[in-house]
Amino acid sequence: MKHLTYAVVGTGAIGGYYGAKLARAGQEVHFLLHSDYEYVRENGLRVSSCDGDFCLPAVSAYASAQDMPKADVVLVALKSTNQHLLGTLLPPLLHPATLVILIQNGIGLEADVQTWFPTQPLAAGLAFICSAKTEPGHIRHQCYGSINLGNYSCADASLFQTVLSDFCAAGIDAHEVPYLEARWRKAVWNMPFNGMTVALHTQTDALLQNPATRQLIYEQMMEVIGAAHALGIDALDERFAQKMMQMTDEMVPYSPSMRLDFDFHRPMEIHYLYTRPIAEASAAGFAMPRLEMLERELLFIDAQNTR
């Protein structure tokens, strides 16, 4: 089995966690950092985890993609609001067979990136994890941690399977899921909880403890499932929505990534998390009125919060 070289673009709560797990397991991983580059270069990466804390005292850290070696696999964990940066960040890391895995939230990401890199193999990475990075070089992993990988345009099945094996060997619960199903499966949780924690200025637990918002969350989940059905994805149903509700009931009180972006006055990922899936559902003849209302509220909030 070929020993792969990995690069992480966006060493935050998600990319930093999966990259650190791979590096800890002995994989060659190169990390692109921004604000905490100097700190990580001198101090390494620390992961405080519900599965056991660990520290990587020395990592291959870079402040510029131009200085990084080419990789066999690039894990892109940037916020989708920074998607425009990929045209500059990715080329130094790519050879023709490099697999780019977009561990990002939303619908339509791979289609857009493929237009910029028409021949590059792409895959989706859908992380089910509660994790945050609120200090330089320190990732706090609260619970869960699995990842679904959906093959978008990778013709090399052995490469894709090697990546899955590497994740599993690193202690990451990783599974292959059909691409479009993987994206919409994650949207069932993402679309209700990311926006609602912002609009109502709360956390996941409070939304489910109140009967009114619990019912609204469920109805929003069923809108996402209805959209998935309109797009030909039959694997999702009300049982999956109920499973997501139960999973969230059992989680620690959590602020999703969009809520953290709001708290830190960063632009929110509204386009790929709301606007794009709503448009794709509409094109398939399915309306998402509850989530359309939430999208418009978020657009207002975002404009006020980032001006």
Residues with catalytic function: 186
Tokens of 109: 């990401």
Residue 15, classed as helix, strand or coil, is: helix
**Amino acid identity at 262:** F
124 and 102 Cβ atoms separated by less than 8 Å: yes
CA 143/CA 126 separation, integer angstroms? 15
Q: For residue 77, how many other CB atoms are within 10 A of its CB? A: 23
Tokens of 217: 């969350």
Residue whose token pair is 């993609």: 65
Q: Which residues of 214-234 are buried (b: 16+ CB within 10 A; e: fewer)?
A: eebbbebbbbbbebbbbbebe
202 and 269 Cβ atoms separated by less than 8 Å: no
Residues forming a β-bridge with 141 = 49, 131
CA atoms lying within 13 Å on the CB side of residue 6: 30
Provide DSSP, 101-153.
EE--SSSSHHHHHHHHSTTS-EEEEEEEEEEEEEETTEEEEEEEEEEEEEESS
